[in-house]
Amino acid sequence: MKLAFILFTIAFIIIVVGTVAKARKLDNLHKRIEHMRHRLDRALLQRAACALGIARSGVLDPASSLLLEEAALEALHAVDAPGRHGERSLVESNLSQVIKATAADPGALGRGLYAELEEAETEVQIARKIHNGAVVRVRQIRSGKLISLAHLAGRAPLPETINIGEGL
């Protein structure tokens, strides 16, 4: 009887410790996603501001400048409110396409403007990949039976990946 009680107690402690460890890991991943989401938002704003600067610099032809300016302004004004995530992705993807069509020539832009745009675009892609990797890990962990049975995710919404076309 004592041996069964001891084994049961050890098993219970192992389950509790494992559950707490999973909960902490999940919480840390949710925090990382939040941090990466802010980093991605900053990178997207920087890219849009850079594109707007290029559009207003006079180095592009008037039609390209107008297209780039409209896409950049739309991206700068895009609000990432709940339920509008897909809309923001479309606006940012549109800006990526317009950048690719109008500002992808380093010779036309000059080294400084092109380097600034390229750096902003690189930061967007890095932040997006890190964010999406963390989202995939959270989704894998949250799909486990222990997580759903013990409600370890709490009230945190299931995070979504960010899909934005590449500009340069």
- What are the extents of the domains in the chain? 48-167
Give the pLDDT confidence score for residue 79 in this predicted structure: 62
Contacts 24+ apart (CB under 8 A), 127-134: 127/36, 127/39, 127/40, 127/43, 128/40, 128/162, 128/164, 130/36, 130/39, 131/33, 131/36, 131/37, 131/39, 131/40, 131/161, 131/162, 132/161, 132/162, 134/29, 134/32, 134/33, 134/36, 134/159
Q: How far is CA 65 from the centre of its chain?
A: 28
Give the pLDDT confidence score for residue 82 in this predicted structure: 52
What is the token pair recorded at 144?
A: 């486990």
pLDDT, tens digit only, all 168 positions of the chain: 789 999 999 999 998 898 888 889 888 999 999 999 999 999 999 999 999 999 999 888 899 999 999 999 999 988 655 556 668 889 999 999 999 998 777 777 777 888 898 999 999 999 999 999 999 999 998 888 877 777 777 777 888 888 887 655
